[in-house]
């Protein structure tokens, strides 16, 4: 978990560019730089009334999702938030960002500033040593697949997945050219709902220079790495190269909603969900939270009235999109989060808003009661997945909570070692775009990796690159892969879209019902001890304590249990 249009879009997502104003804003309106907003229409209101309301507040619609009534709007009216909320046809307004200007000359981006899990990048063991060959050349490094019985002797033999099953990866993109992803990648069905943001209006770099003149990346490109790793875990094929995913025969669809920088803004997220619903996607993986609020609170006294209204809009728009997807047969799987906190307790968060739309804004400390919502992981009908390490202990960084976590899956824990010192191989290995490895100087001139967290596998003259990462972002795709196997095994013909389909409720029931029950540790107040390597070569001891609540059948660390790929298809 972070912290992921050019072709014909679905009918529910339209580019309503420059909708003409039918009425001007109020006479006391002032104008400044152009800013971007997400406007939520009143449920059931006509589009004509909604468009008139936006225009009356001084806005111009640049993108619109008619399936759930959400529009991206640009306005130079500094009072747009207030003016728009006064309109009877508007249910809510949230700031998106200030609109910057792309440089006239575009250059290939250097390594991006990443906001994905890097804990697994520190290690003491080399990742380049040879191993005994199993099903795939790197299978012996995949402790995660062995733990959930996604192996040649396990679920691959019983049910490797059906190509008619579509898995949507809502992330930063997928490197569809990666040789260990390409055989299962559907480029024609994939979409990118984002536009790169080189710099914001105040000159702050967001995504870095655009790689393409349009600032819209192709659907087979990932300039971050996160989405490619996720996709590989789900469905890298059995092809004699590298590794295999949980469901090696299913189809991957890039439904991109994440910026290169790792931000996930509201409009792309809801667009990705409704597109998935309208195009027969069976299950989506959501390893992110919707920016800028890690937790959305409707009436937190620490927030201004404007921020409260903004967070209410995020919740309502997200829930509409999630409900639409679920109603149209999409199983929803999400990472639980990497904050090492119990979501069922009152906590303190100082990370939001993590993206500032106007100068002078900054994250601030707030007390977060359980009534606040992290989207999408706490959304209705969403399967929240916690992370565990090689020993099956809950990963030290993973969020948790009895009633919050649905299931647990391997996400990696580099400190899950006998001595508490980091071992990179205890993270999760999956595909890595070669272009990023080259940009970051991680390859020698002959193409071999020069860092311990990157691995190369070759089949003849074809080589693929892989890297170790850890996080609940890595746990969630394991569960997504198992759901894809469940649909492959028990699904029926989809009369609307072709392919296969299965009720999301039934898929979730099988996933949870076949998970291996895992009791809380003893004592339940479990203390994590890590030895973190310092720059001077010494180790710093770090201890944290997380308390597991609940019984063996369901608890805050493991939910209903550890997912089991073989068990799920032997139901």
Active-site residues: which are they? 171, 226, 473
Distance, C-alpha 145 to centroid of its chain? 21
Q: Taking each helix axis from N to C terminus, what angle separates 472-490 and 504-513, rounded to the nearest 10 degrees?
A: 110
Structure tokens at 541: 């001891």
How much is the CA Rg of the chain, to the nearest whole Å?
A: 23
The helix/strand/coil state of 495 is coil
Residue 111, sorted as left (phi over 0), alpha (psi -120 to 50) or beta, turns out to be beta
CA dihedral (268, 164, 475, 547) positive or negative? positive
**Which residues have C-beta within 8 Å of that of residue 446, sequence separation ≥ 6?**
none
Alpha-helical (H) ranges within 457-503 are 472-490
Structure tokens at 171: 């992330």
User: How far apart (Å, rounded) are the C-alpha atoms in residues 170 and 293?
Assistant: 18
Report the Cα–Cα distance between both ends of the chain, in Å, rounded: 30
Neighbours of 18 (CB within 10 A): 9
User: How far apart (Å, rounded) are the C-alpha atoms in residues 392 and 408?
Assistant: 9
**Which residues have C-beta within 8 Å of that of residue 143, sequence separation ≥ 6?**
390, 410, 426
CA neighbor of 35 nearest in space, from 6, 64, 72: 72
Secondary structure letter of residue 421 according to DSSP: B
The helix/strand/coil state of 307 is helix
Structure tokens at 480: 């997504």
User: How far apart (Å, rounded) are the C-alpha atoms in residues 356 and 145?
Assistant: 39
DSSP labels for 130-150? -----SSTTGGG-HHHHHTT-
CB of 396 within 8 A of CB of 355? Answer: no
Alpha-helical (H) ranges within 351-464 are 434-439
Structure tokens at 219: 């659907």
């Amino acid at each position: 978990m972070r912290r992921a249009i050019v072709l014909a879009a679905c009918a529910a997502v339209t580019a309503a560019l420059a909708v003409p104003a039918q009425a001007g804003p109020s006479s006391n309106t002032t104008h400044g730089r152009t800013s971007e907003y997400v406007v939520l229409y009143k449920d059931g209101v006509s589009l004509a009334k909604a468009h008139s309301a936006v225009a009356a507040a001084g806005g111009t619609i640049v993108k619109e999702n008619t399936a759930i009534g959400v529009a991206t709007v640009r306005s130079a009216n500094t009072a747009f938030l207030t003016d728009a909320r006064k309109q009877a046809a508007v249910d809510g307004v949230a700031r998106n960002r200030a609109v910057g200007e792309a440089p006239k000359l575009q250059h290939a981006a250097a390594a991006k500033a990443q906001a994905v899990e890097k804990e697994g990048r520190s290690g003491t063991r080399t990742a380049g040593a040879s191993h005994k060959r199993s099903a795939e050349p790197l299978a012996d490094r995949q402790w995660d697949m062995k733990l959930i019985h996604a192996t040649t002797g396990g679920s691959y033999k019983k049910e490797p997945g059906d190509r008619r099953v579509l898995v949507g990866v809502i992330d930063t993109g997928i490197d569809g050219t990666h040789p260990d992803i390409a055989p299962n990648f559907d480029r024609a069905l994939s979409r990118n709902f984002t536009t790169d943001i080189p710099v914001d209006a105040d000159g702050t770099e967001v995504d870095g220079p655009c790689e393409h003149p349009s600032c819209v990346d192709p659907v087979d490109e990932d300039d971050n790495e996160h989405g490619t790793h996720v996709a590989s875990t789900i469905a890298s094929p059995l092809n004699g190269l590298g590794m295999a995913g949980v469901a090696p025969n299913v189809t991957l669809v890039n439904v991109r909603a994440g910026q290169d920088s790792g931000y996930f803004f509201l409009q792309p997220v809801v667009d990705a969900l409704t597109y998935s619903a309208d195009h027969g996607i069976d299950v989506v993986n959501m390893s992110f939270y919707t920016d800028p609020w890690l937790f959305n609170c409707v009436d937190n006294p620490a927030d201004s009235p404007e921020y409260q209204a903004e967070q209410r809009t995020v919740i309502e728009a997200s829930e509409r999109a999630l409900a639409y997807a679920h109603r149209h047969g999409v199983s929803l799987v999400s990472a639980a989060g990497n904050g090492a906190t119990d979501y069922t307790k009152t906590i303190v968060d100082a990370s939001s808003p993590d993206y500032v739309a106007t100068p002078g804004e900054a994250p601030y400390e707030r007390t977060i009661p359980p009534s606040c919502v992290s989207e999408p992981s706490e959304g209705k009908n969403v399967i929240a997945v916690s992370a565990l390490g090689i020993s099956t202990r809950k990963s030290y960084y993973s969020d948790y909570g009895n009633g919050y976590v649905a299931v647990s899956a391997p996400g990696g824990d580099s400190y899950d070692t006998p001595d508490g010192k980091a071992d990179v191989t205890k993270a999760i290995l999956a595909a890595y775009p070669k272009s990023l490895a080259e940009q970051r100087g991680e390859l020698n001139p002959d193409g071999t990796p020069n860092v311990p967290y990157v691995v190369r596998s070759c089949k003849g003259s074809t080589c693929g690159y892989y890297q170790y990462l850890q996080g609940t972002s890595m746990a969630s795709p394991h569960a997504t892969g198992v759901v894809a196997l469940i649909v492959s095994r028990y699904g029926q013909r989809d009369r609307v879209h072709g392919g296969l389909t299965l009720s999301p409720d039934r898929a979730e029931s099988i996933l949870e019902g076949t998970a291996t029950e895992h009791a809380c540790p003893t004592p339940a107040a479990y203390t994590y001890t890590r030895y973190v390597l310092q720059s001077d070569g010494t180790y710093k001891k770090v201890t944290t304590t997380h308390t597991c609540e609940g019984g063996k059948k369901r608890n805050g660390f493991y939910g209903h249990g550890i997912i089991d790929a073989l068990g799920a298809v032997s139901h």
